[in-house]
Structure 1
Amino acid sequence: MDEVILITGGTRGIGAATALLAARRGYRICINYQADTHAAQRTLDQVRELGAEAIAVQADVSSEEQVQRLYQQVDAELGPLRALVNNAGTVGPRARLDEMSQARLWHLMQTNVIGPMLCAKHALLRMSTRHGGRGGAIVNVSSAAARLGSPGEYVDYAASKGAMDTFTLGLAKEVAGEGVRVNSVRPGYIYTEFHRLSGDAQRVSKLAPGIPMGRGGQPEEVAEAIIWLLSEQASYATGTFVDLAGGR
């Protein structure tokens, strides 16, 4: 394949699973991470063991200056970008809205909404035929929370993912004639370390009996959908949402 993919938040969970699958499919890979150098190096070593050309780049995607530096490094070391996975995100401890601080809300929206928009902006400057690119594909990692609202847990997170769903629909239509497809996956309860951020690392196991399929999902199952949406097999899909929530 020999195409370049950028995966934000690519060091663990869904991001790492997507990087590993992309390596198996022949992509050249940039793994973006915010702070955990050890996890980034571990994932980088794993994709390189699979034979992929890959780099890991530290950048806070909520800062446009850092996003620009990230893309410049991808340009210089891997070549023209063809695929973006907007996976980086955060969540706060379980709380009601009337217990949430303004600082928490600002941080979450900067990371979960502004960050993916900035990454998509700079991807389009490289992919869109309007800017001399050869086309490409973007997949935004949303959440079933965008549909369910997450009352009593984290309505702020759910709202941020609802914003991403609207962004996916609008951007897909905006650039459909410029060779760029924009789609989304909406995972439900997936076994990843992400749940530690909400204060309950065992959350998926506890809630699994209430899922129609009776189990939580694996990050590899989400990765399969992401890579499919990026591929030519999904060439007529844009503005599309793939729900991966076990029937929820």
Structure 2
Amino acid sequence: MSGVVIVTGGSRGVGAEVCALAAADGFDVVVNYASDGEAAEAVAERVRAQGRQALTVRADVSSEEDVTAMFAAAASLGPLTGLVNNAGVVGSAARLDEHDAETVRRVMDVNVTGVFLCLRAAVRRMSSRYGGDGGSIVNITSVAARLGAPGEWVHYAASKAAVETMTFGLAKEVAAEGVRVNAVSPGLVDTDFHATAGVPDRVARLGPSLPMGRAATPGEVAEAVVWLLSPRASYTSGAILPVAGAR
């Protein structure tokens, strides 16, 4: 396979592993990041070590101007054939009635509006309606969308449910235009996501109680993402693929 994929939030966690695995699968990669350019460049070096091109682009996906600039920069690598909407924020863990409105607005701006902006930009480049040659989009959602994340992140769960709805709807809109749209729904994943949200012990605390007795690794989630990006999933669109260890 060849082509160019943009991975939002590609500097760490699941996004970083998606970048590396996509390179191994033949993609040139745009590593998007919000603040840590050094980490993004380290991921880009992993891509280049596999003989593929890599570009790091700082962009806040909730900014229309930043998204426009990121997609324009990606064109320097070649025609866009893939997008992974991985960037997301959560805020600290608390009950819904304890969260402040600004936190919720930021989560919705990044997790919902940001996904919309990237989806729109990708379709305008990949869809045959716009003269594109097709492509594949993978949105990263969460089992929180169906579990609700009570006592922690109900607002985050709601944002991910919105992403799943966009996945279903857009898949139908562009199915005849050469673009596939799917989502991967991870459960508990062993990344720094939890520490950033103020619960660094969450993986150790919850992992043993899960059906498989542990959290997922970022690489296990990335495998599902890259499969959906690839022609191996050529008749799969509108799917939400759980990678949650039977949770």
TM-score category of the 2 structures, normalised to the smaller one: over 0.9
Percent identity (aligned): 52
- Which residue does the alignment assign to 1:74? 74
Q: Name whichever of 225-234 and 45-54 sits farther off.
A: 45-54
Counterpart amino acid of residue 125 in structure 1: R
Counterpart amino acid of residue 33 in structure 2: Y
Gaps of 5+ in 2: none
Q: Name whichever of 196-205 and 80-89 sits farther off.
A: 196-205
Equivalences for residues 114-125 of structure 1 within 5 A = 114-125=113-124
User: 1:52-110 deviations in whole A, cap 9, x for unaligned?
Assistant: 111100011100111000011111x2011000000000111111111111100110000
Equivalences for residues 36-75 of structure 1 within 5 A = 36-75=36-75
Q: How big is the alpha-carbon RMSD for the aligned residues of Structure 1 and Structure 2?
A: 0.8
CA distance in 1, matches of 2:178, 2:2: 18
Offset at residue 3 of structure 1 (A) = 0.6
CA distance in 1, matches of 2:195, 2:95: 18
The answer as to whether partners of 1:90 and 1:197 remain within 8 angstroms in 2 is: no
Offset at residue 197 of structure 1 (A) = 2.2
User: Could you say what secondary structure the match of 2:136 adopts?
Assistant: strand
The answer as to whether partners of 1:209 and 1:215 remain within 8 angstroms in 2 is: yes
Equivalences for residues 10-159 of structure 1 within 5 A = 10-75=10-75, 77-159=76-158
Offset at residue 151 of structure 1 (A) = 0.4
The answer as to whether partners of 1:44 and 1:54 remain within 8 angstroms in 2 is: yes
- Which residue does the alignment assign to 2:178? 179
Counterpart amino acid of residue 147 in structure 2: L
- Which residue does the alignment assign to 1:161? 160
CA distance in 2, matches of 1:103, 1:197: 17
Offset at residue 42 of structure 1 (A) = 1.3
Gaps of 5+ in 1: none
Counterpart amino acid of residue 171 in structure 1: L
Offset at residue 13 of structure 1 (A) = 0.6
Q: Does 1:227 align with 2:226?
A: yes
Offset at residue 2 of structure 1 (A) = 2.4
